Structure 1
Amino acid sequence: MDHLSEAARIRRGVVRLNRRLRQERGNEAGLTPNQLIVLGHLHRHHSATPGEIAVAERQRPQSLTRVFGELEAEGLISRAPDPVDRRQSVLTLTAKGHRALDQDMGERDVWLAEALGSLSATERGVLELAGVLMERLAGS
C-alpha cells in the first residue's frame, strides 16, 4: 500500500470518528465549534493573545473576535493587558471555562470508553499509540 492510499484510509477513519464524537456531545453548555477551539487552545497553552490563537488555529482574527467576546461575557475566559505590550490583551481560561470544557470532553470520553470496551487489549493499545502519533502529526 502506498503512502497516498494509507493517508486516505487514515483520513477517512479520523473523519468518521470525529463526526461520531461530535454526535456524542450533549452540548448542554451550548458551546459552538469555534468556542471549543478557543477554549481548547487556552487549555493546552494556559494563556494567549487573540492573534496567537488565530494564527495557531488557522483562523482569521476577525472571525474570532465575536467568539472571544461571547466567551468573556459568559465568564469562560478572562482578558487582561499583556504585561509586555499594553496594546495587546492576554486571554486565560477561567475556572468556569475549565468546567465547561471538561464537561464537553467528558461526554465524548464516556462514549469512547464504552466503544473501546468492545475491542481487544491489543486493539486498544494500537489505538492509544495511534492517538499519540496523530497528535505528533498534527503538531508538525
Structure 2
Amino acid sequence: MSEIRRAGGASGAGGKVAVRETATRLRVGVGAFQRRAREATTEGELTGPELTAMSRLDRRGPATTAELARLEQITPQAMGATVASLERRGLVAREPDAGDRRRSILTLTADGRNAVGSGRSALVDRIAAVLDASFTDEEIATLDAAALLMQRLADLV
C-alpha cells in the first residue's frame, strides 16, 4: 500500500499530490456510495437529509432551522422542507424560543430519539449485511474509524 503524506509535511510538493489524490478518491467513492444508497432507499424511509438533521439534533441538542441549514451548508428553505417532513412524521417538535418569540427551536421527539438511537433502516440493514458478509473485522473497524473522519471532513468542507 502506498504511503499517504500530508500537504505541508516533510514530503513537500509530492505530499500535496498524494493529498489531492486522496481527496479525489474520497469524492469518487463517496459519490458512488451516495448514488447507490439513494437507489436502495425504500418508500417511507428517512432520507439522507432527514437522518442528518435528526442526528445533528441528537448530538448537538435543540437548534433552529437556520442553524441546521448553516451546519449542513444548505439554504434555510431546503432545511425547512426537511424539517416539515420530520414534523409531519412526529419525529421533531417545534417550540417558540423563550428569548426570541419570532424563532422556533427544534427538538427530537421520543419517536425521533428512538429512530436515531436504533439506527434501523432498510439501507442500514443492507449495509450491515454487506459488511458482515464481505469485510473482515479489521476492515469494519477501519471503516468505522473512517466514518467518524468523514463526518469531521464534511463538517469542515
- TM tier, smaller: 0.7 to 0.9
Q: Which one has more relative contact order, counting CA pairs under 8 Å at least 6 apart? A: 1
Choose 120-129 or 44-53, whichever is displaced more: 120-129
Tell me by how many angstroms 1:103 deviates.
Answer: 7.0
Match of 1:62 among 53, 65, 77: 77
TM-aligned CA distance change 1:112 to 1:63, over 3 Å: closer
Extract unaligned runs of 5+ from structure 2: 1-16
2:107 paired residue number: 92
Instruction: Give the RMSD, CA atoms, in angstroms.
Output: 2.6
1:25 paired residue number: 41
Distance, in Å, in 2 between the alignment partners of 1:49 and 1:88 is 7
Distance, in Å, in 2 between the alignment partners of 1:69 and 1:125 is 36
Extract unaligned runs of 5+ from structure 1: none
Contact 2:71 2:155 in 1 (8 A): no
Secondary structure of residue in 2 paired with 1:98: helix
TM-aligned CA distance change 1:41 to 1:87, over 3 Å: same
| Bigger Rg over Cα | 2
Distance, in Å, in 1 between the alignment partners of 2:136 and 2:118 is 28
Aligned residues: 139
Encode CA deviations 1:83-122: one digit per residue, 9 max, x unaligned.
Answer: 2222211011112333455677532222122111212233
